[in-house]
Amino acid sequence: MYFDPRPKTKKEDLYNRTKELEAFTKAIAYSPLIVVTGLRRTGKTSFLNVAMAQSQQPYTMLDLRGLPYNPSYADIIRRIEAAFNRLDRQWFSGLTDALKHLRGVSIMGNEVTFGWGKTGVDLPELFSKIDGWAAKENKHFLLAFDEIQIVRGDKWIPRLFAHIADSYRNITLVLTGSECGLMFDFLGFDNPNAPLYGRDYVQIQMENFSRQQSKDFLTSGFAQIGLPITTEIVDYAVDNLDGIVGWLTLFGSRCLSKQSATAEIVDAVVLEAGRLAREEAVKLTVNSKRYGIALNYLTQTGEASWGQIKTAIQVKMGHSITNAAVSILLNALVKTGFIVKNNDKYTIADPLLIRGIKEQPLPE
């Protein structure tokens, strides 16, 4: 069902990602790294769930939510352990048999435990065993890290990724991120001093829906749930929800619960979505009120140049700031996906964030 607000797990519930799914399947055969990118709520997790499920390969995904910016080795081991215990039972027994004599690995029934102390599991050894098992099965083991930029504080993780990419032909790493700039800075594909520099990877981008795709998504979704909707309400929803699949899905889900499709529900979703988007932006202002000033200003103006934003910050703060400080701030906003730069002008990426800030400006 298109309007299920939970991450999708079946291909029939995933709208309009056929091209991306084909690219993912092809990449498994030749690339050690697949990177799935897209702004917030463009359906990356749903895509990843479906892509791995239909790959016919053994796979698991690490849930990185709640981890600190600079996670410890133990933090990552515990998340890997949890991911392995979610492995499909079709593969679990065979893989754990291959691991049972590995130092730091304990297997009891249908559960595997990885030690993380001094005598704990060594990750390169672990992945060497996995690679050997996958080779015997004539499979590629898919290990996914969802929203990898969350743990970008420690460079040992890219070093581990580089070791896996270089050493094991039967393991494919899959990385997703909504803060694309931060993710690529962390991974360092273009940084000569970074462990992953020069490594081959395939990037799959989750784009927002076009206007026609958004209309078709809603029309098809309402047909699935057997709820009538007028062309006028479809157009109104598309006009206000801007092709972002997460918000379109939320609208459909709200209509299903109320058994009605009205402009009032669209307005309520716009309000809710704006508030959710604003709450994400508020987190930035904890580090510096300058983020709030810049985003509030762009909300008022629609777009602005580097110099105009600098002037707005200086006027609000009542003192001058350096050019470097302005560049750092704007680069951070671009990398976190809050703003985009086109033709030397900056704009807010998500129109619903603009709605949220208009309702309640960010702290300054």
Q: Which of 148-157, 274-283, 322-331, 349-358 has the lowest mean pLDDT?
A: 148-157
Residue 88: what pLDDT? 92
If asked whether residues 110 and 197 sit together in one domain, one would say yes
Work out the pLDDT band at 68, boundaries 50, 70, 90.
Answer: confident
**Among positive and negative, which fits the CA dihedral 122, 127, 133, 135?**
negative
User: Of the segments 63-72, 196-205, 220-229, 284-293, which one has the largest average pLDDT value?
Assistant: 220-229
Residue 287: what pLDDT? 78
Q: How many domains does the chain have?
A: 3
If asked whether residues 29 and 140 sit together in one domain, one would say yes
Tens digits of per-residue pLDDT, 165-199?
A: 999 999 999 999 877 888 888 898 888 999 999 88
For residue 155, pLDDT beyond 90: no
Residue 178: what pLDDT? 79
Work out the pLDDT band at 346, boundaries 50, 70, 90.
Answer: very high
Residue 186: what pLDDT? 87
Q: Beta 202-205 vs 33-37: how paired, if at all?
A: parallel
Q: Which of 68-77, 97-106, 352-361 has the lowest mean pLDDT?
A: 68-77
If asked whether residues 255 and 310 sit together in one domain, one would say no
If asked whether residues 263 and 305 sit together in one domain, one would say no
For residue 311, pLDDT beyond 90: yes
Look-up of token digits 């462990």? 195
Stretch 137-144: mean pLDDT: 96
Please check whether residue 119 is in contact with residue 102, taking contact to mean a CB–CB distance below 8 angstroms: no
Residue 44: what pLDDT? 92
Tens digits of per-residue pLDDT, 251-286?
A: 999 999 999 999 999 999 999 999 999 998 998 888
Instruction: State the residue range of the domain holding 134.
Output: 17-205
For residue 29, pLDDT beyond 80: yes
Selection from 43, 7, 4, 35 nearest residue 188 by Cα: 35
Q: How far apart are CA 156 and CA 174, in angstroms?
A: 17
Tens digits of per-residue pLDDT, 76-120?
A: 999 999 999 999 999 999 999 999 889 999 998 889 999 988 788
Q: How far apart are CA 235 and CA 246, in angstroms?
A: 17
For residue 149, pLDDT beyond 90: no
The CATH number given to whatever domain includes residue 261 is 1.10.8
Residue 5: inside a domain: no
Stretch 150-157: mean pLDDT: 83
For residue 249, pLDDT beyond 90: yes
Residue 152: what pLDDT? 83
Residue 166: inside a domain: yes
Domain's final residue, options 251, 277, 303: 277
Residue 264: what pLDDT? 97
Chain-centre distance for alpha carbon 315: 36
Ordered DSSP codes for 286-348? TT-HHHHHHHHHHHHHS-B-HHHHHHHHHHHHTS---HHHHHHHHHHHHHTTSEEEETTEEEE
Residue 14: what pLDDT? 94
If asked whether residues 62 and 157 sit together in one domain, one would say yes
Q: Assign 3-state DSSP to the chain and report helix, strand, coil percentages, each to 5.
A: 55, 10, 35
If asked whether residues 72 and 198 sit together in one domain, one would say yes
Stretch 223-249: mean pLDDT: 94
If asked whether residues 74 and 92 sit together in one domain, one would say yes
If asked whether residues 233 and 332 sit together in one domain, one would say no
Residue 120: what pLDDT? 87
- pTM reported for the whole predicted model: 0.86
